[in-house]
């Protein structure tokens, strides 16, 4: 996936009139974000590395060389690399929080099921004492019928 996304970003950058041959990182940034969100932070880092390589080799002067002779291009390349790393870190944090949220949802569902089970199967019993008749009885407060009568 990183190679495909980098290739697509390079092809788009090469064939848009007016930006070919310049350091234009928007499509490469999109490729890094897509790779990091779909494939994880590792795929994002690989895509960023391939994007830096593709920019240095094909888009920046001198052409077909990994040497970046213009200091402005080098700064742009470093800024792209830093921003790509930040995107990968944010994608990793998002995945981590999604897993934590899924775990919390599962725990909540389990507790809800447990409460529903206890509500449906449990009953509350108590002794009731009638002072006038001096009788005690065991009763379910959710059911009005008497089960045991003591005098």
Length of the chain: 151
Same domain, 27 and 78: yes
d(CA 12, CA 34): 15
**Same domain, yes or no, for 32 and 70?**
yes
pTM of structure: 0.68
Residues 86-110 have a mean pLDDT of 97
Q: Domain range spanning residue 139?
A: 121-150
76 lies in the same domain as 133: no
Q: In the prediction, which pLDDT does 134 show?
A: 82
Q: How many structural domains compose the chain?
A: 2
108 and 127 co-located in one domain: no
Q: What is the 3-state secondary structure (H, E, C) of 39-59?
A: HCHHHHHHHHHHHHHHHHHHH
What are the pLDDT digits (tens) for 3-32? 899 988 888 887 777 765 555 788 999 999
Instruction: Examine the domain organization and report whether 126 and 105 are in the same domain.
Output: no
* pLDDT given for residue 4 in this prediction: 92
Do 67 and 132 sit in the same domain of this protein? no
pLDDT in tens, 62-80: 878 888 888 888 898 999 9
Q: Are residues 69 and 140 in the same domain?
A: no
What's the mean pLDDT when you consider all of the chain?
84
Domain match, 49 and 103 both: yes
Q: Are residues 136 and 79 in the same domain?
A: no
């Amino acid at each position: 996936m990183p190679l495909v996304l980098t290739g697509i970003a390079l092809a788009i950058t090469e064939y848009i009139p007016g930006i070919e041959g310049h350091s234009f990182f928007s499509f490469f940034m999109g490729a890094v974000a897509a790779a990091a969100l779909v494939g994880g932070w590792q795929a994002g880092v690989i895509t960023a590395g391939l994007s830096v390589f593709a920019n240095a080799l094909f888009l920046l002067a001198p052409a077909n060389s990994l040497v970046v002779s213009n200091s402005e291009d080098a700064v742009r390349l470093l800024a792209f690399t830093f921003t790509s790393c930040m995107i990968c870190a944010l994608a990793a944090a998002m995945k981590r929080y999604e897993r934590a949220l899924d775990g919390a949802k599962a725990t909540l569902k389990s507790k809800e099921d447990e409460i529903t089970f206890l509500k449906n199967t449990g009953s509350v019993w108590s002794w009731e004492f009638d002072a006038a008749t001096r009788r005690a009885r065991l009763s379910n407060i959710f059911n009005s019928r008497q089960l045991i009568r003591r005098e």
